[in-house]
Structure 1
Amino acid sequence: LTQLCGSPQHQGVVLHARPLGFADEGLLDNVIGRNQCLLLVLDQITDAHNFGACLRTAVAMGVDAVICPKHHAASLTPTVAKVSVGAAEMMPIVSVTNLARTLTRIKDAGVFVFGTALNETAKPIHAADLTGKTALIMGSEGEGMRRLTTESCDELVYIPMSGNEHGNLQSLNVSV
């Protein structure tokens, strides 16, 4: 088994399967055409572990589709598949060439776009109305959302850090 899979970490099973693939961009038309939808937009998440964890959380939270840019972002690697614990196979993941153009497209379809940011204009996420057609954007691990992505947002939100009297923790990791 070790020889077949090229790794000693096979747990007694080897399976030959086709690689994971991204969903067709046309799928977004079906999702945003509904009365309600929840989209997760990942703006340049580069760490495979974070990407996999985001997919797992997206499935748990009832997200209808995940959108990410084609460039400067983690791909659907075996690490992503393993960390997502099956979520990568359950969740439609759409990889787009131009994220700003895609955000304009979904906004034109009536999707309200929330971006996550730590600045004075952002409001606590519990004060936001996340019903109806909604997209939530999470920015990259180090820099957060890019400028054009931020400008595409209808509103900025943040997750308050309770129990942070000393101010060491400004935010959760993107995967959380």
Structure 2
Amino acid sequence: MRPNRPDQPTARQNRHARSDHQVHIYDEGDIAALLEDKSNPLVLILDCVQDPHNLGACLRTADAAGVCMVIMPKDKTAPITETVVRVACGGAENIPLVRVTNLVRTMDKLKELGIWLVGTADEATKSLYDLDLKGGIGIVMGAEGPGMRRLTGEHCDFLVKIPMAGKVECLNVSVATGVCLFECVRQRQPKK
């Protein structure tokens, strides 16, 4: 696994992002190597997030939360454009982005590597705040509107919801991503 060097663009380098940004795109074959030296990895899986502003905001939040990689399908996901890079404010360049052909197969591979997969779904009965999010965790976020695809949800180890106190039914995917990732961060903080 080698990130792209500025003087040697490869087929993996995103052709949509501006040339002065070094966005490193990996494929599913790189996942084990990206996790190799991580003792309690936090992974973000985005299932078909299509709005470039939401994708950029998710990448920015992922970087702030210390996520070790963001995984997303090659199809039905916003490309990494200049807009995504700008909204991410450095997140797109700082985190390995893994584009995969088959998200379910990739999720199974993550499980083999010791990652527990926590999916978010409005219909879930368990609260995000009741789950132990320490250790190797993959947070799975669905697309704007429909949420996670059925097979994606079926391959999660746990389905959770974010408790809502108001009248709106759900949060924007980028906001929900922030809530979920920073609950992981909170739980991983050393006790004083």
Q: TM-score range by the shorter chain?
A: 0.7 to 0.9
Q: Is the 8 A contact 2:119 2:153 kept in 1?
A: yes
Is the 2:26–2:96 contact (alpha carbons within 8 Å) kept by the matching residues of 1? yes
Corresponding residue for residue 124 of structure 1:
127
Q: Deviations 1:82-114 (Å, cap 9, x if unpaired)?
A: 100111000111000000000001111211000
> 2:98 corresponds to which residue?
94
Counterpart for residue 172 of structure 1: 171
Could you tell me which runs of 5 or more consecutive residues in structure 2 were left unpaired when the two chains were aligned: 1-17, 176-192
Confirm or deny: 8 A CA contact 1:122 1:155 kept in the other structure.
no
> Is the alpha carbon distance of 1:101 and 1:81 closer, same or farther for their aligned partners in structure 2, counting shifts above 3 Å?
same
How many Å separate the matches in 1 of 2:140 and 2:99? 14
Distance (Å, rounded) in 2 between the aligned partners of 1:137 and 1:154? 10
TM-score, with length taken from structure 2: 0.77
- Structure 1 stretches of 4+ with a deviation exceeding 4 A read none
Q: 1:29 aligns with which of 19, 28, 32?
A: 32
What is the CA-CA distance between 1:142 and the residue it aligns to?
Answer: 1.1
The answer to whether the aligner puts 1:147 opposite 2:150 as a matched pair is yes
Please give the secondary structure, in 2, of the residue aligned with 1:55.
Answer: helix
Q: Could you tell me how far apart the structure 2 residues matched to 1:122 and 1:96 are?
A: 30
Output the aligned Cα RMSD.
1.7
- The letter of the residue matching 1:99 is L
Q: Which amino acid aligns with 1:141?
A: E
Task: Give the aligned partner of residue 113 of structure 2.
Answer: 109
Equivalent residue runs for 1:69-88 within 5 Å: 69-88=73-92
In 2, Cα distance between the equivalents of 1:44 and 1:118?
A: 17
State the shift of 1:61 in Å: 1.0
CA distance in 2, matches of 1:77, 1:95: 14
Partner of 1:47: 51
Q: What count of residue pairs does the alignment treat as equivalent?
A: 157
CA shift, 1:158, in A, is 1.2
Deviation readout 1:145-170 (Å, 9 max, x if unpaired): 001101101110111123x1xx2x11
Alignment-mate amino acid for residue 49 of structure 2: I
What's the offset of the Cα at 1:19? Answer: 6.4
TM-score w.r.t. structure 1 length?
Answer: 0.83
Change (3 A) 1:122 1:67: farther
1:157 aligns with 2:160: yes
Query: Going by fraction, where is helix more abundant, 1 or 2?
Result: 2
